[in-house]
Amino acid sequence: MPESTEDRGLDTCTTCPTLCRWSCPVAETEARETTSPQRLVVLSSLLKQEKITAETVGVTPYHCSHCYACVEACLHHNDVPMLLSLARSRVYKAGAAPAGIREVTANFAVAGNAQGAQLDVALKEAAQEAGTGVQHEGETVYFPGCSTLENSPEVVTDFLRAVALQGAPVPALTTVSASCCGLPLLWAGDLVGFTLHARRLAERLKGTRRLIVEDPTCAHAFLVRYPWLKVELDVEVQTSAAFLADAAQKNEAPTSAEAKKNGPAACAFHRSCGQLRGLHEVEAPMDLLTRAAGAVAELPGEHDCCGAAGLLPTAAPATARAMAEARLEAFRRTGATTLVTSSPRCLAHLRSVDPNASVEALTSVVAKS
Ligand code: SF4
Ligand code: SF4
């Protein structure tokens, strides 16, 4: 972001009577003004002007789940999450980021992902489990994302099964498929690390025509944050939901869901922030879920963010947990038996908060339909 754009964003919020306050799930959950979008940006401005120190600011800019609710509510569409990423980068650079955040970047140094995990092993096992016959070369490549491979590898298996079920060509699984998009580095405030990671991945993707991305937050990173850093990604990016919805439309075979379309909803749909506001992808996931499961209930409640993203579970675990509990409570009120989400990151977070809750990935529901 050019400095003039950052300054304009900071000034816009500083002079605003905090019109987006109602939209922020973090400030609402914490019931305090300090973490409202406007106050966070004012703090970021003071930090940039060196009127306060990074040590004083500390963890505060990390109290944001990057849900984009304030961006959507703002008349100027001010990119608050990006302004906060820049504030985080100043805190990080000064060595004042919380220990959990520094652990994330240390994991990248070791393994190239936030978890410090061997993602290639998880990918291989998930593909073997699918038994679809993995091809390592192809113009279309599947990108599960590090959180998916580490926490919910069954979603990868289910994606491969769902593709076979739709009769669509199975995307290739290459070494890139076992990589991270780098977004946790940006969330941590390691702007230099994120830029280098993005450039390396863009280089490795040369020759790939299309990338099918499981986690909508990764797709948002590729489509919005890479260009923001002027990293050219010469590849078409499509979410797995959009890819499977396209395949389902082409494959007009009736599904078992047809009979359930007018019945009570067995599934409630948790729309992830990354998909809803990060990508503005609304119809494809719902179309896919309706085809697979019949009638679908939308979750009630003013705030739809479960708190999984933006490293909120690392920086403010109690807040992230309370946000997930609110979504699970909204799910129980619908009377549906399964909560479905198109984000593997949300899936892992919701399951970690209530291991007994029936939460499934959209991809898995399609594979089992
Ligand atoms: S994001 Fe927009 S609405 Fe919210 S405080 Fe800033 S200028 Fe105001
Ligand atoms: S992106 Fe979401 S969590 Fe972050 S300040 Fe805006 S509304 Fe709050």
Domains with residue ranges and CATH for the chain: 3-97 (no CATH), 105-244 (3.40.50), 255-367 (3.40.50)
313 touches 247 (CB < 8 A) = no
Give the pLDDT of residue 237.
Answer: 98
Burial class, 353, CB count within 10 angstroms (exposed 0-12 / middle 13-18 / buried 19+): buried
Atom of ligand 2 nearest to the CA of 68: 1
359 touches 330 (CB < 8 A) = no
Neighbouring residues of 260: CB distance < 8 A, sequence distance ≥ 6 = 266, 293, 294, 295
Helix then strand then coil, % of the chain, to nearest 5 = 55, 5, 35
Give the pLDDT of residue 48.
Answer: 97
* Residue 70 CB less than 6 A away from ligand 2: yes
* Residue 81 CB less than 6 A away from ligand 2: yes
Residue 298 CA to ligand 2 center (angstroms) comes to 22
Give the pLDDT of residue 344.
Answer: 96
Q: What is the DSSP string of 307-330?
A: S-STTHHHH-HHHHHHHHHHHHHH
Between the two ends of the chain, the Cα-to-Cα distance in Å is 44
With a cut of 50, list the residues of the chain below it in pLDDT. Answer: 259
Closest CA to ligand 2's atom 8 = 24
Give the pLDDT of residue 259.
Answer: 46
* Residue 80 CB less than 6 A away from ligand 2: yes
Mutate to test the pocket of ligand 1, among 13, 22, 23, 79 (most ligand atoms within 8 A of CB): 13
Atom of ligand 1 nearest to the CA of 23: 4
Residue 281 CA to ligand 2 center (angstroms) comes to 19
Q: Which residues pair with 96 in a beta bridge?
A: none
Residue 296 identity: V
Q: Cα torsion for 359, 363, 367, 369, to the nearest 10°? A: 60
Residue 85 identity: S
Ligand in nearest proximity to the CA of 84: 2
* Residue 115 CB less than 6 A away from ligand 2: no
Token look-up 């379309």 returns 261
Residue 32 CA to ligand 1 center (angstroms) comes to 17
- Tokens (6 digits) for 316: 């403010």
pTM greater than 0.85: yes
Neighbouring residues of 317: CB distance < 8 A, sequence distance ≥ 6 = none
Residue 19 CA to ligand 2 center (angstroms) comes to 13
Give the pLDDT of residue 264.
Answer: 61
* Residue 315 CB less than 6 A away from ligand 2: no
Residue 279 CA to ligand 1 center (angstroms) comes to 20
Closest CA to ligand 2's atom 6 = 70
* Residue 24 CB less than 6 A away from ligand 2: yes
Residue 149 identity: L
Closest CA to ligand 1's atom 2 = 74
Mutate to test the pocket of ligand 2, among 24, 30, 272 (most ligand atoms within 8 A of CB): 24
Mutate to test the pocket of ligand 1, among 33, 41, 66 (most ligand atoms within 8 A of CB): 41
CA nearest neighbour of 245 among 275, 188, 286, 279: 286
205-232 in b/e burial notation, b at 16+ Cβ within 10 A?
Answer: beebeebbbbbbbbbbbbeebbeeeebe
